[in-house]
Amino acid sequence: MISNIAEDEDKWLAEGIAGIQHNAFYMHRSLDSNNLREALKYSAQMLSELRTSRLSPHKYYELYMRAFDELRKLEIFFKDESKHGCSIIDLYELVQHAGNILPRLYLLCTVGSVYIKSKEAPAKDVLKDLVEMCRGVQHPIRGLFLRSYLSQVSRDKLPDIGSDYEGDADTVMDAVEFVLQNFTEMNKLWVRMQHQGPGRAKEKQEKERSELRDLVGKNLHVLSQIEGIDLEMYKDTVLPRVLEQVVNCKDELAQYYLMDCIIQVFPDEYHLQTLETLLGACPQLQPTVDIKTVLSQLMERLSNYAASSAEVLPDFLQVEAFAKLSSAIGKVIEAQVDMPVVGAITLYVSLLTFTLRVHPDRLDYVDQVLGACVKKLCGKPKLEDSKATKQIVALLSAPLEKYNDIVTALTLSNYPRVMDHLDNGTNKIMAMVIIQSIMKNSTCISTADKVEALFELIKGLIKDLDGFPVDELDEEDFKDEQNSVARLIHMFYNDDPEEMLKIICTVKKHIMTGGSRRLPFTVPPLIFSALRLVRRLQGQEGDVVGEEEPATPKKIFQLLNQAANDCDLEPVAYEFFTQAFILYEEEIADSKAQVTAIHLIIGTLQRMNVFGVENRDTLTHKATGYSAKLLKKPDQCRAVYACSHLFWVDDQDGIKDGERVMLCLKRALRIANAAQQMATVARGSSGPVTLFVEILNKYIYFFEKGNSQVTSSAIQGLIELITSEMQSESTTPDPSSDAFFASTMRYIQFQKQKGGAMGEKYDSIKA
Amino acid sequence: MVLVLALGDLHIPHRAPDLPPKFKSMLVPGKIQHIICTGNLCIKEVHDYLKSLCPDMHVTRGEYDEDSRYLETKTLTIGQFKLGICHGHQVIPWGDLDSLAMLQRQLDVDILVTGHTHQFKAYKHEGGVVINPGSATGAYSSITYDVNPSFVLMDIDGLRVVVYVYELIDGEVKVDKIDFKKTATTNSAH
């Protein structure tokens, strides 16, 4: 059934076009032979095709355009009096004899255009006549197109100031009157469309009406182009008249479109000065009109206007733009009870953007907007609509981006209240946005109060919120979140140690609620923050951290050791070492991790000078013992010779126990030998001699430091051992150990050639 | 002229939130041919950021690095120079130049880049040069008090390397440079 109609329409359109072409052909012939009568006859016939009621607006437009093109040729003919011999005034009279009104009026408009151009009559008179005569066509589609034609041909002939057709003192007013009248009549026709035509589906009707809206809107565009209109005239005449028509037509489609049109077409400074009038019209519109979009558009335009130049800002203050907009929005939200939450939030977002652009220093305005939002959200369950949440995130992000300083946002009392209304997922997203803003701007948070307020905002990241267990979260995302929190902790700083201590305690209080999954991320940065503070408080009791932190890597303990060392707190340091060893025994099973851990223990212990002899002995004994028990022999060897440094510290009061150094080195040598033999047994060839070369280097190290236990003959012996190993048939050649040995020997040579005390030392060693 | 960026011990996020903004603005992608990182980044984010500065990146493992695939030591050749990288927590005593010289002999390299002490050092000895770029973020260290953020840029040209060290002191970036020339005879057996 429907496809039939579409087919029929195409058929009718084709017929119409054929009709136009047919008559146009004869019209052209008449024009060529300068036959006015014939030309008028055929053009009237041609225009009769436009009398059809059978076409939808879309198809009618096609027909219209064909006619339009042909009429241009006719107009050229009319203009040239020499061709047809008829004066323009007579022509104007002549065309009115056409039989049917529609062709008559099209021809009249065409002649009218020529008439105005000839300047034989004032433009205003011709225009007035035409716009009145068009009343004869009351059919909506036909009337709209006719008046559109009038508008098109008259566009460049308005009696505007500075135009060729300028009239007397009221000339601009005449132009305005003409356009306003045309607009008013067109709008009436347009609105009437919805009542016409039996059985037309509402949707189809709306679609058709939509297609025609630009015809109506064009008039407003023309108005905006009239140069002679100044702010006064706009304020006093143009806007009130347009708004009157908009309100009185009581048509939802028209009202929405035209309000939008007004906002888009006229300059922003006009809108600013007529804000009250414009906003005043809003409550008078039909309740079903999507006024919030209109308001949002208006605010966006005004925001952009404010951003464009600082000079216009005082105007905003002068007209009290914020107050007016704010109250208008309030009224709209109140009136439209069924407006979904997302609509209200969008309005507030637009208002907030406006406020941030125009009144950035008025934090009270910003807070007011947020407060209004809270009021709207109050009493409703947590938002689930994703569009609404997106809008709220936009709402909350705007102040962050504007002020680049989270501290400002923290002063907005309604900010956390808005956040409370977000669902947990979005709350966390917002928290991340906040953290990123801080990181990007390198903002330093300097008081415990601010830290407290901040943690309140980002609490979704700090701990499990009700009903949202941590397990549900993606592993990667969780890591990113917690790493962000970790980095955030470093942004808290104050020069004043007391305040810093308060900050640290506040942070500790909050992260402790995080649960075991979060602590490994959040505790280390706090500890380091505390250590930095301790260092500043050097010498004072700084026992800020120290309780159990589950799952903390033992490496932290090393640093705590060192810190305790710095503070001369031997018992505390000893306790830390004990804990470290216990962790080593119980928690570190991976052999690679063990190697690293033992090196950390040895390295730390080597630097500690706070221990008395007994304690130090116990610890070094433990360290050496664990070294020898590592899984792989090469690792054992290396750890043990590293332990040799535990007994030799280069400071002036440092321990320098040459014997125990040698014991370690000899033990390392034994392990190296054993490793060598194992390799022989297992693989049928000796392993690389690297370990021996390493130990040789250690011998040299202590030899140079003056350890009497390391004799030149010991070194010589080791050199010979290595050389024979390398030359042995069963050894697989290893280029890197060869190179290592070679560079070691080069070093010995270099030292020998140095002369002086060093050269003497090396004298007995043969390279 | 080959530019090599050497840095390390950033300790993000445990000890520092990020590189200092003044450093970040200097480190622009596309200007550097190689990056050498001594370790302790510590998280993937930092790895990705450095990689974006230059795709040829060499990292060794620091004791806090989360990525276990980093090696303990690494060697590479750039122009006429052999470079070695090691974080340094494995070399005891920490920061001891003689022990580091031993590592240098073991790796058989002209330039050894290590970290761990968070203190810039450039030390020349008979076997070559030991460079410690310090901590790029000025992270806390138990070994060094008052850590200033620093990193090193090496300009390798033929047998000469110029070492530029950038340090952030009291909010200002200070630059220093040291020249090293390699004599042809110190080439090793390879």
Residue of chain B nearest A635, judged by CA positions: B90
CB contact under 8 A, A744 and B64: no
- A/B interface, count of CB pairs below 8 Å: 109
Integer Cα distance of A15 and B26 in angstroms? 74
B106 touches chain A (CB under 8 A): yes
Q: Is the pLDDT of residue B174 over 90?
A: yes
* Three-state secondary structure call for residue B142: coil
Integer Cα distance of A261 and A265 in angstroms? 6
Integer Cα distance of A686 and A729 in angstroms? 9
CB contact under 8 A, B99 and A701: yes
Residue A432 amino acid letter? M
What DSSP line would sit under A140-178, residue for residue? HHHHHHHHHHHHHHHGGG---TTSTT--STTHHHHHHHH
**B16 to chain A: which residues are within 8 Å by CB?**
490
CB contact under 8 A, B105 and A743: yes
Integer Cα distance of A664 and A640 in angstroms? 6
Q: Pick the closest to residue A376 from A328, A413, A342 (CA basis).
A: A342
**B139 to chain A: which residues are within 8 Å by CB?**
528
Q: How far is B112 from chain A (nearest CA, A)?
A: 14
CB contact under 8 A, A532 and B140: yes
* Those residues with Cβ within 8 angstroms of residue A226's Cβ, 6 or more apart along the chain or in another chain: A158, A160, A172, A175, A176, A179
Residue of chain B nearest A525, judged by CA positions: B14
CB contact under 8 A, B127 and A746: yes
**A555 to chain B: which residues are within 8 Å by CB?**
63-64
CB contact under 8 A, A491 and B98: no
A544 alpha carbon, distance to own chain's centre = 40
How big is the CA angle at A661 (ends A659 and A662), to the nearest 5 degrees?
65
CB contact under 8 A, A490 and B16: yes
Buried b (16+ CB within 10 A) or exposed e, A248-282: ebebbbbbbbbbbbbbebbebebbbbbbeebbebb
pLDDT band for position B100 (50/70/90)?
very high
Q: Pick the closest to residue A648 from A639, A658, A663 (CA basis).
A: A658
**A553 to chain B: which residues are within 8 Å by CB?**
64
CB-neighbour burial class of residue A314 (10 A; exposed 0-12, middle 13-18, buried 19+): exposed
How big is the CA angle at A51 (ends A53 and A111), to the nearest 5 degrees?
150
Which of A442, A528, A690 lies at the smallest CB-CB distance from B14? A528
Q: Pick the closest to residue B186 from A743, A430, A528, A143 (CA basis).
A: A743
* Three-state secondary structure call for residue A116: helix
Q: Is the pLDDT of residue B111 over 90?
A: yes
Integer Cα distance of A273 and A726 in angstroms? 96
Supply the pLDDT for residue A566: 62
Integer Cα distance of A44 and A47 in angstroms? 5
Supply the pLDDT for residue A505: 87
CB contact under 8 A, A697 and B145: no
Average pLDDT over residues B3-23: 92
Residue B182 amino acid letter? K
The kind and range of the H/E element at A351 are helix A341-358
Q: How far is A569 from chain B (nearest CA, A)?
A: 15
Integer Cα distance of A596 and B81 in angstroms? 29
| Residue A706 phi, psi (nearest 5) | 95, 25
Supply the pLDDT for residue B169: 93
Which of B17, B68, B105 lies at the smallest CB-CB distance from A487? B17
* Sites in chain A below the pLDDT cut of 50: 539-552
CB count within 10 Å of CB B19 equals 23
Integer Cα distance of A527 and A231 in angstroms? 66
Integer Cα distance of A415 and A456 in angstroms? 11
Integer Cα distance of B137 and B12 in angstroms? 8
Q: Which two tokens stand for residue A364?
A: 């009270």
**Would residue A208 be called left, alpha or beta, if left means φ above 0 and alpha means ψ between -120 and 50 degrees?**
alpha
Integer Cα distance of A8 and B77 in angstroms? 82
Higher pLDDT: A194 or B174? It is B174
**A484 to chain B: which residues are within 8 Å by CB?**
13
The kind and range of the H/E element at A501 are helix A497-511
Rounding to the nearest 10 degrees, give the CA dihedral for residues A294, A297, A303, A306.
-90
CB contact under 8 A, B63 and A600: yes
* Those residues with Cβ within 8 angstroms of residue A133's Cβ, 6 or more apart along the chain or in another chain: A105, A108
Kindly report which listed range (A117-121, B115-119, B148-152) carries the lowest average pLDDT score: A117-121
CB contact under 8 A, B188 and A742: yes
CB count within 10 Å of CB A36 equals 17
- Alpha-helix runs per DSSP H in A359-423: 363-377, 386-403, 406-410, 415-420
Q: Is the pLDDT of residue B51 over 90?
A: yes
Supply the pLDDT for residue A549: 47
Residue of chain A nearest B106, judged by CA positions: A740
B77 touches chain A (CB under 8 A): no
Cis ω on the peptide bond leading into residue A733 (within 30° of 0)?
no
* pLDDT tens per residue, range B56-92: 999 999 988 888 789 999 999 999 999 999 999 999 9
ipTM score for this prediction:
0.90
* Three-state secondary structure call for residue A731: strand
Average pLDDT over residues B133-157: 91
- DSSP lists the bridge partners of residue B2 as B156
* pLDDT tens per residue, range A288-337: 888 888 888 898 888 888 888 878 888 887 788 888 888 888 888 877 77
Q: What is the rounded end-to-end Cα distance, in angstroms, of chain A?
A: 109
B79 touches chain A (CB under 8 A): no
CB contact under 8 A, B17 and A559: no
Q: Which two tokens stand for residue A65?
A: 């355009």
**Would residue B171 be called left, alpha or beta, if left means φ above 0 and alpha means ψ between -120 and 50 degrees?**
left
Q: Pick the closest to residue A141 from A69, A203, A198, A213 (CA basis).
A: A213
Q: How far is B149 from chain A (nearest CA, A)?
A: 15
**A524 to chain B: which residues are within 8 Å by CB?**
14-15
